[in-house]
Amino acid sequence: MSGRPLDVLEASLNETVTVELKDGTAAVGILSGYDQHMNVVLDAPGEVEESEALGDLTVDSVEDTTIIRGDNVVSITV
Amino acid sequence: MSGRPLDVLEASLNETVTVELKDGTAAVGILSGYDQHMNVVLDAPGEVEESEALGDLTVDSVEDTTIIRGDNVVSITV
Amino acid sequence: MSGRPLDVLEASLNETVTVELKDGTAAVGILSGYDQHMNVVLDAPGEVEESEALGDLTVDSVEDTTIIRGDNVVSITV
Amino acid sequence: MSGRPLDVLEASLNETVTVELKDGTAAVGILSGYDQHMNVVLDAPGEVEESEALGDLTVDSVEDTTIIRGDNVVSITV
Amino acid sequence: MSGRPLDVLEASLNETVTVELKDGTAAVGILSGYDQHMNVVLDAPGEVEESEALGDLTVDSVEDTTIIRGDNVVSITV
Amino acid sequence: MSGRPLDVLEASLNETVTVELKDGTAAVGILSGYDQHMNVVLDAPGEVEESEALGDLTVDSVEDTTIIRGDNVVSITV
Amino acid sequence: MSGRPLDVLEASLNETVTVELKDGTAAVGILSGYDQHMNVVLDAPGEVEESEALGDLTVDSVEDTTIIRGDNVVSITV
């Protein structure tokens, strides 16, 4: 799963990813799309997971298809 | 409703979407337009919905056609 | 009045619009020009309206022709 | 004095303008130049005006030729 | 290991690097990819190292493959 | 000394200028170079001037050749 | 050592420079590379110098080769 950042996103399509945002929140969902700005589309996981902690972050699953604008993204863990 | 971010917006035209902004507010409306910067145009829903909570956010329906400049957008839920 | 964001601005020329800014203020005026960066030109309305509230915002009419640089704009309500 | 934002600046050359900045200050001077980024050049007015208030802002005349970088500009009133 | 910034990243592929972020955190991992925006991909080190201090920063190893968006990066130590 | 912003910088080469920065500081030096991003190079004045006040700002002369990145610049007074 | 900003960086390769960052810190090292975004590469000086004060800043030598992303840079003193 090595490679350039967008290659890693391509390889992670339809998998669950965690997106950490600049506002201190994080969202987990199934990566269903992305573009070159690192705008991403997350779909709700089939089974809503409970909130879980990621270090100091509380991570919530998205409940509906959500587009996250890339300039808010700190990191994407795949 | 998977695909690249702008494809998701295209597929959501004339549907109700929720736009979360960097200032901590959120707006709901009917998506009537967008462009490649993720600038979006929201029209008022036919029936003004009451404010509802989205997690910690208060979400208000737009009352008139509103252009939101893309660089304020955190996420768009469709 | 649907369409892409700049189409909506084009259709709103010579009409009164409300521009909400990132500094928490808002200005109302007659839209007399714009460009692709969403820089806008507001002219004073013929009749100076009193300040009115827009949610938590105080909205003042511009008193002279004012260019607002686009990167300050949160939204434009038409 | 309607038109696109840069047309308004062109029409305002050699006239007194007020530039409001993101740091909450404002400067008044004679517009002697500008470019497409809305960088502007202000010359000192022939007669130094006293500070005057613009809403909550204190507006001071520039005392020497001053280049203001466009990304600091909130608005330019002509 | 001198050269232009992206040459240094190229020479550091598959080596352990420390990425300092604008939010005051830092992450250590094996550099498995990067692009011209300084977006980087870090893989978990084979052996999870304990948190260690880097000046005032606490540096944690990434536990899964992580894409860090370049505009959050302050520095990368190789 | 009127003209477009970069023309004013060109005309000010080898002259003493004052650069006001977004962090609330200001620097004075001899303008020895610039580019289209308004990155500037200041050389130390031949004679180190004492700190002087510019409104609320304390202005210090640079002591060595200093490159200031343009996106920190609020204004350049020539 | 006059000239355009990138010419000054070119002339300063393999020399000790001080980089002041937006987070209020500064780093000193040997400039071993740069690019057009003012991303820079600093190598550790042969002899680690003690921290020294630069005005209000504490300046530390880098201990390993460090890439600093240009958008964090306030100034580079050569």
ipTM, interface predicted TM-score of the complex: 0.87
Eight-state DSSP code of residue F48: P
CB atoms within 10 A of CB E21: 17
Confidence of residue B1 (pLDDT cuts 50, 70, 90): very low
Question: Which DSSP letter does residue D2 get?
Answer: -
pLDDT the model gives residue B54: 59
User: C24-46: per-residue pLDDT in tens?
Assistant: 999 999 999 999 999 999 999 87
Question: Which of F4, F7, F74 minimises the CB distance to D69?
Answer: F74
pLDDT of residue E58: 73
- In eight-state DSSP terms, residue F4 is -
| Least reliable range by pLDDT among A10-24, D35-49, E27-41 | D35-49
Ranges D19-28, E28-37, E40-49: which has the least confidence: E40-49
Residue A71 exposed, middle or buried by CB count within 10 Å (0-12, 13-18, 19+): middle
pLDDT higher than threshold 60 for residue A49: no
Domains by residue range for chain B, with CATH: 5-77 (2.30.30.100)
Q: What is the pLDDT of residue A53?
A: 58
E51 versus G41: the higher-pLDDT residue is G41
Predicted confidence (pLDDT) at residue D51 exceeds the cutoff of 50 = yes
C-alpha–C-alpha distance, residues A57 and A51, integer Å:
10
Average pLDDT of the segment spanning A44-57 = 64
User: How much of chain B exceeds pLDDT 90, in percent?
Assistant: 73
What does the pLDDT look like over G28-62, one tens digit per residue?
Answer: 999 999 999 999 999 998 765 555 555 666 788 89
For residue D45, name the pLDDT band (cuts at 50, 70, 90).
confident
Q: What is the pLDDT of residues B26-48, one digit of tens each?
A: 999 999 999 999 999 999 987 65
List alpha helices for B1-78, DSSP H: 5-11
Residue D9 has pLDDT above 80, yes or no: yes
Residue in this structure with the two tokens 């573009």, named with its chain if needed? A35
- With a cut of 50, say whether residue E9 has pLDDT above it: yes
Contact (CB, 8 A) for G77 and G18: yes
Is D67 within 8 Å of F55 when comparing Cβ atoms? no
pLDDT grade, residue D1 (50/70/90)? very low
CA-based angle B13:C14:D13, to the nearest 5?
115
Residues B40, C4: C-beta atoms closer than 8 Å = no
**Which is more confident, G31 or D46?**
G31
pLDDT of residue D54 exceeding 90, the answer is no
pLDDT of C11 strictly over 80:
yes
User: How does the average pLDDT of chain A come out, rounded?
Assistant: 89
pLDDT number for residue E1: 42
Q: Is A5 within 8 Å of E33 when comparing Cβ atoms?
A: yes
Residue in C22, C70, C78 closest to B65 by CB: C78
Half-sphere exposure of A65 (CA within 13 A, CB side): 19
Question: Is 80 exceeded by the pLDDT of residue G27?
Answer: yes
What pLDDT, in 10s, does the model give residues F14-47?
Answer: 999 999 999 999 999 999 999 999 999 999 987 6
**D75–C contact, CB cutoff 8 A:** yes
Percentage of chain B beyond pLDDT 70 is 83
Chain D nearest C-alpha distance from C36 (Å): 10
The CA distance from E63 to the nearest CA of chain G, in Å, is 23
